Structure 1
């Protein structure tokens, strides 16, 4: 993989020319900034920017004014290769709070090690109705310790209006949900994104996470997507690297008002 070429393609297709996520959402370009504005309870964020030292503080202030004017908390999704180099420090000075850094990892779907199957006693089912969504939310809240109401709203909206662009998978031990994960299939691009891979604490270290990645990689390849993208936590980065993913950059969520 040519890292520089793939990273430039990712920036262009997934950030600068991003598509709205969910019904009612919109993507707007405001000068040298591209932002995502939800249609209700969804995600609000700055996705991409092309700033220099002279104009960065003004652009930051404009986005704060815009989102606070809407009454929305929002995220500035900063990547390690974004400019100016001190953009993170400027965001902090403007009142943003940095979340833990993640690693942007990308793999070619056809070249990943996708033959991994669920461990014995574990089955995978896709969440295609409200009952399935509740299983995903249950795992999310147990695995990450965060409220899943926003995820519930997003998945139910996708099922109702745009089911072909996302697949949510639940790992079951009998009838007990012990893991879940999602794949976002972005129309008109070569990228699919892996999100929300979480395993309930007592079930970690048994190969369920790895099998969920492989399952979603097969879904992406079957639908003609070339690349898989993950914002990887330190715990998942070694697993993804063994499957064939490459670390191309870092990404840090800077939160305002949340």
Structure 2
């Protein structure tokens, strides 16, 4: 299978991150989330399908966002979004707060072969509370968030205990000599492995831990029928590792912060 821009754009647009404890604002032309306090940002647009002129719909989204009384709205411009969306956000004071790119790999022939790490890495799925807490703590530190409350950690473990054996994915945690050192998530949906949250604890970077977590997730995805792997990555950190691992970059997907109050 040869991945096209249209294939990757469609798979990326279908990937809507929606935590079950977020407040959802659903509209025919957009979906917005008010995120829980432990997430590093407050308010985010997660889908955008305008049926009217672009400036009018952007204004409608920003107006609705102002009701939440938070300082800014995070809005990622996706590969398949309408041309000119970034310019519309910039015209309303939006500034790029996070440079991301969308990368994909063809898994139809089994996926890429990765170099082994330089340390002995053990991988565990977060199907119990202790492993879930370890993975979420690394994720929180790496992405400047906060560790979720205990009940949320227990819910993640319970969900993983159901989804991992069912082939739908979960959170994978890497250990070296019993110490949690890295983590990453995967969700297998309609033949696409959505890879998220890949991060390694600072003292362990540069030793192949990220590759080990990536390899574990890709192997799981192939076993459970995925023919494409998709990542929305930082082009200066995980991006180079992914490209060396056989992923192709299909273009930027920057996240804008749009101010909501003067």
Separation in 2, partners of 1:257, 1:78: 16
Task: Tell me the CA shift for residue 25 of structure 1.
Answer: 6.4
Normalised by the length of structure 1, the TM-score is 0.79
Q: CA RMSD in A?
A: 3.2
* 224, 245, 248: which one aligns with 2:247: 245
In structure 1, what is the equivalent of residue 129 of structure 2?
130
Structure 2 counterparts to residues 53-92 of structure 1, below 5 A: 55-70=53-68, 74-85=73-84, 87-92=85-90
Separation in 1, partners of 2:241, 2:114: 14
- Segments of structure 2 that go 5 or more residues without pairing to the other structure are none
In structure 1, what is the equivalent of residue 45 of structure 2?
46
Separation in 1, partners of 2:30, 2:127: 32
Separation in 1, partners of 2:58, 2:154: 33
In structure 1, what is the equivalent of residue 238 of structure 2?
236
> Do 2:32 and 2:47's aligned partners in 1 also have CA atoms closer than 8 Å?
no
In 2 relative to 1, CA 185–150 (structure 1 residues): closer, same or farther, beyond 3 Å?
farther
- Segments of structure 1 that go 5 or more residues without pairing to the other structure are none
Residues paired across the two proteins, number = 248
In structure 1, what is the equivalent of residue 173 of structure 2?
170
Task: Tell me the CA shift for residue 243 of structure 1.
Answer: 1.9
In structure 2, what is the equivalent of residue 109 of structure 1?
107
Task: Tell me the CA shift for residue 180 of structure 1.
Answer: 1.2
> Do 1:105 and 1:230's aligned partners in 2 also have CA atoms closer than 8 Å?
yes
* 30, 37, 44: which one aligns with 1:34: 30
> Do 1:114 and 1:217's aligned partners in 2 also have CA atoms closer than 8 Å?
no
SS of alignment partner, residue 98 of structure 2:
coil
Q: Deviations over 1:136-188 (max 9, x none)?
A: 132224434x12335987664444457414411111111211111111233xx
